[in-house]
Structure 1
């Protein structure tokens, strides 16, 4: 099968390439992409028969890519890190997926399964998975040390990142710390009602009380958040648009 790898991390693409060389099911990798924009161009031009598709890409997600391609006549195997909200959507749609880091046995099993799956059936599976994904947009599930914590994004004030850890501050005064960078949550948060005014913060636009032109956000609970000069223009655009709507 002519195969396209759509994954934003180069080392994962390299690892997947190496694994594909070791398995019995033969595939011909015709290209690699790390963004929705590039993947749409390559898929439309090269017409792959199979795509390994990362859920979160640099400029969007897998479902946005699938909406933009001209013809959905290729097989899809999703790739995802162990994020519960992503797995819930994929499982509900019964689509084929593999977890990072990719296991060779899971890879071969997914390839064998997808080879025999009719395109029409796959389209329905993807549609169901997309609906489940969209319904999960209002929740974020954090993997804590001993549990999974559900966060209502409508009640999340802001997130603060520090040295590989991210703290989530909620409107009820609770806070949760996870050992992941803010970047790993940025796609889902940005697609809801959040903006990143500073490298270390993401803020819920709903809870902003005012913005000081000197470069500080005042939240309704009294917390002040800095706005970096590099992100000021993007923040102001999102802030003004949200307050005018």
Structure 2
């Protein structure tokens, strides 16, 4: 089976290649990608039979890639870090997945399972997974001092960190303080239409009213968020890409 690896971390791609060389398999890796954009180009050009597909990529997620390549016929084995909401979605869809770092025995099991499924059967399972993933990706559960608070990410405007604590500011005026750093929420939020323009802030792109090229974000509620010089280029790219969707 001709395959490609779509994974944004080079050491994970290398590790998977090494494991595939160790086991007796007919899988031949013909390409590697680290973004949705590159993966779409390579998949259309190479037409692989199997794709090892990371859930969260540098410029989107696996399901965005699958939407753009639905005219192609290939099987999928998902790759994911230990993220509760992603794993729950994968299990609900009963699709094949590998946890990072990839284990050789789990790889063998996943390859055997995926070979037994038809492409049509797997696409049905992936659709169930996508629905579960999207539903769970719309919410975040915060562990507060005396309760668990459900946050609707569509209504979360921005987060601000200070000395090991993070405050979540919602569109309805409510705010919630948790004793965790912003870093612990960054990957989850940046895969849900948020951007981190500064060490102390993560912002929902949906609530940006304008951006001053001097380096200041204006939110729709009047709040001003600074953009650090080293994150400016990355922020502008995210801002322009999202607002043009």
Q: Deviations over 1:71-101 (max 9, x none)?
A: 3311100001111221122112111111111
Name the residue aligned to 2:3. 3
The alpha-carbon deviation at position 151 of structure 1 amounts to 3.5
Give distance in 2, aligned partners of 1:178 and 1:168: 10
Q: 1:184 aligns with which of 184, 187, 212?
A: 187
Q: Counterpart of 2:72 in 1: which secondary structure?
A: coil
Unaligned 5+ runs, structure 2: none
Q: Relative to structure 1, is the Cα distance of residues 48 and 9 closer, same or farther in structure 2, using a 3 angstrom cutoff?
A: same
The alpha-carbon deviation at position 106 of structure 1 amounts to 1.1
The alpha-carbon deviation at position 188 of structure 1 amounts to 2.2
**RMSD in angstroms over aligned alpha carbons?**
3.7
Q: Deviations over 1:85-132 (max 9, x none)?
A: 211221121111111111111111101100111111001011111112
Q: Relative to structure 1, is the Cα distance of residues 166 and 35 closer, same or farther in structure 2, using a 3 angstrom cutoff?
A: farther
Give distance in 1, aligned partners of 2:237 and 2:32: 30
Name the residue aligned to 1:173. 175
Q: Counterpart of 1:174 in 2: which secondary structure?
A: strand
Name the residue aligned to 1:129. 129
Unaligned 5+ runs, structure 1: none
Name the residue aligned to 2:96. 96
Q: Relative to structure 1, is the Cα distance of residues 150 and 78 closer, same or farther in structure 2, using a 3 angstrom cutoff?
A: farther
Q: Relative to structure 1, is the Cα distance of residues 208 and 50 closer, same or farther in structure 2, using a 3 angstrom cutoff?
A: closer
Moved more, 200-209 or 131-140: 200-209
Give distance in 1, aligned partners of 2:73 and 2:239: 41
Give distance in 1, aligned partners of 2:118 and 2:239: 48
- Taking structure 2 as the reference length, what is the TM-score of the superposition? 0.77
Give distance in 2, aligned partners of 1:4 and 1:219: 41
The alpha-carbon deviation at position 11 of structure 1 amounts to 0.8
Give distance in 2, aligned partners of 1:196 and 1:108: 38
Q: Deviations over 1:145-194 (max 9, x none)?
A: xx99753324534234689x78352444322315846652353231xxx4
Q: Counterpart of 1:189 in 2: which secondary structure?
A: coil
Q: Deviations over 1:1-54 (max 9, x none)?
A: 111111011111001111111223342111111111111121112121111000
Q: Is residue 85–residue 141 contact of structure 1 (8 Å, CA) maintained in 2?
A: no
What number of residue pairs does the alignment pair up?
Answer: 235
Name the residue aligned to 2:33. 33
